[in-house]
Structure 1
Amino acid sequence: MSIADKLHDVRETIRAASLRSGRAGDAVRLVLVTKTIEPERVREAIRAGQTDLGENKVQEGRRKAEALAGEPVRWAMIGHLQSNKVKDVLRFAGEVQSLDRLSLARALEKRLQFLGRGLDVLVQVNTSNEASKFGLAPADVPGFLKELTAFDALRPKGFMTLARFTPDEEEVRRCFRILRQIRDHALRDAPQGEVLSELSMGMSGDYGIAIEEGATVVRVGQAVFGPRALPDSHYWPGAPGTEAADRTR
């Protein structure tokens, strides 16, 4: 199957899952994960109508964005972001889905103020409670959201998580439900209120489940581009370097 055909199938799966969850067929945004994928293959997806692209590593994302300059796309940083990479990530990304600490918020704010622009951000939460994963502990989210009110250039839009790497569907759903509950509480109690509606959760192996549990954004790569040569452990600390674990994006 071509990239365009696979992309069509993913969109249809998203649409069906959205309808099953009682929402409109276009209620969920697809971020196509392009890590390790050459620009010309990404361009095939763009030609098929894909506009939201996601990268895990800053240098790879910057190179790819430069190669695809002029294309009608919006880039999201979806991997762990080091504060010393802020300048580079803001050269291409219009969204950061992995905001997980105040030091990063400060670094982003400082650079954004210099650039005179704002940035959409999602707060990353470690819903699986794994030491190997980045993200805030669920209990720390309310305080973090209050702290974010000091940063004028950051526009918090919601939350992101990675479910536990396991074939246990109920455990995966549990991780997604925790994030949904965090979002629902934040809509009611956080200073940002109703703007915190986004839930970025679900990847190539579990995005249908994530949508059923309330995802508004899914991050999918391998379902469109096929298996990667490098295991997920190359991109996500703690992810097993196995074919089963490489279902993740």
Structure 2
Amino acid sequence: MGIKEQELLKARMEAIEARIQAACDRANRKREDVKIIAVTKYVDEQAIGDLLDVGIEHIGENRVQDALPKYELYKERGTWHFIGHLQTNKAKEVVGRFPYIHSLDRLSLAQELNRRAEAIDQVVNCFLQVNISGEETKFGLSPNDVLAFLRETSNMKHIKIVGLMTMAPVVDDQEEARQVFRGLYEWKARINECAFPHAHIEELSMGMSSDFEVAIEEGATYIRLGSVLVKPE
């Protein structure tokens, strides 16, 4: 990375940091409670190296076939999150590589993740994807199905559900996303009251480049930043 590009990336990071801090201040939250996942699906391996060089610790990839070459290059440096829709037949490529999967959304995937993790004697940290907005174009469990899903998966010893994930509608006004994020936060408390053996919700993965400030105000612990952070070629 040239000096100019490095300066531009650092400037973007500084601007994002200021916005995160301001959102934390408004919500009376600690800055260290919010972690940035750099969404790198549209950038090459070098760009991921650049992000790691300026202090990004969490890398988020959406497509298995594109993610694996990047992972092999940088697996020792960042913490890798699989954040895209995961096909059941691709689970074997993700388990053992990505410590966090943000898109658990159906029983067949849970069964396959559990089976693959058991084979290598690991436990997979999963985020349950919940379609709070109800949009047909989005993946995720309907809120009405969440508790039944957790009951069905409660005997899967190689899956640990550590968080919830959702995506808000793409809108011009961040305020329109607030109710979606608030709804996910409410589900966090509801699930924890049930005391499922495999699901203690500590993390909320919500908020993207267009709405991360409102997501932070509503309790996000992971924000997934693409275009505001990384500029594709």
Given the two structures, how large is their TM-score scaled by the length of structure 1? 0.86
The one-letter code sitting in structure 1 at the alignment partner of 2:39 is V
User: Which residue pairs with 1:239 in the alignment?
Assistant: none
2:153 is matched with which residue? Answer: 148
Matched, 1:30 2:65: no
Cα–Cα, structure 1 residues 10 and 126, in superposed 2: closer, same or farther, change >3 Å?
A: same
What is the identity, as a one-letter code, of the residue corresponding to 1:49? G
The correspondence for 1:208, drawn from 213, 217, 221, is 213
- Quick one: structure 1 residues 194 and 81, their matched pair in 2 at CA, closer, same or farther if it must change by over 3 Å? closer
The 5 Å alignment of 1:190-209 reads 190-192=195-197, 195-209=200-214
Shift of 1:75: 0.6
Is contact 1:122–1:157 with CA below 8 Å preserved after alignment?
yes
How much has 1:146 moved relative to structure 2?
Answer: 1.9
Q: Relative to 1, partners in 2 of residues 1:193 and 1:89: Cα closer, same or farther, differing over 3 Å?
A: closer
Task: Supply the distance in 2 between the matched residues of 1:33 and 1:64 (Cα, whole angstroms).
Answer: 12
Segments of structure 2 that go 5 or more residues without pairing to the other structure are: 1-6
Cα-Cα RMSD: 1.7
Q: Give deviations 1:87-144, integer Å, cap 9, x for gaps.
A: 1122531110000011000000111111111111000000110111100001111111
1:4 aligns to what? Answer: 10
CA distance, structure 2, for counterparts of residue 126 and residue 147 of structure 1? 19
What does the per-residue CA deviation read over 1:9-31, in whole Å, with 9 as the maximum and x for residues that have no partner? Answer: 22332222112111112111111
**Aligned equivalents of 2:199, 2:65: Cα separation in 1:** 34
Output the CA distance in 1 between the equivalents of 2:210 and 2:134: 20
Between the aligned partners of 1:15 and 1:89, the Cα distance in structure 2 is: 33
Q: 2:88 aligns with which of 70, 83, 92?
A: 83
Inter-partner Cα distance in structure 1 for 2:206 and 2:131? 12
* Aligned equivalent of 2:164, options 159, 164, 167: 159
Do the aligned partners of 1:95 and 1:119 also contact (CA within 8 Å) in 2? yes
Determine if contact 1:4/1:44 at 8 Å carries over to the other structure.
no
**Aligned with 1:136 (options 138, 141, 162):** 141
Quick check: 1:77–1:89 contact (8 Å CA) kept in 2? yes
Identity, % of aligned positions? 36
Any stretches of 5+ residues in structure 1 without a counterpart? Answer: 230-249
Q: Is the 8 A contact 2:105 2:129 kept in 1?
A: yes
Query: 1:190: how far off?
Result: 4.0
Change (3 A) 1:22 1:193: farther
1:11 partner amino acid: E
Aligned length: 227
Q: Distance in 2 between matches of 1:77 and 1:193?
A: 20
Q: How far does residue 171 in structure 1 lie from its aligned partner after superposition?
A: 2.8
Q: Secondary structure at the match of 2:50?
A: helix
* Structure-1 residue corresponding to 2:102: 97
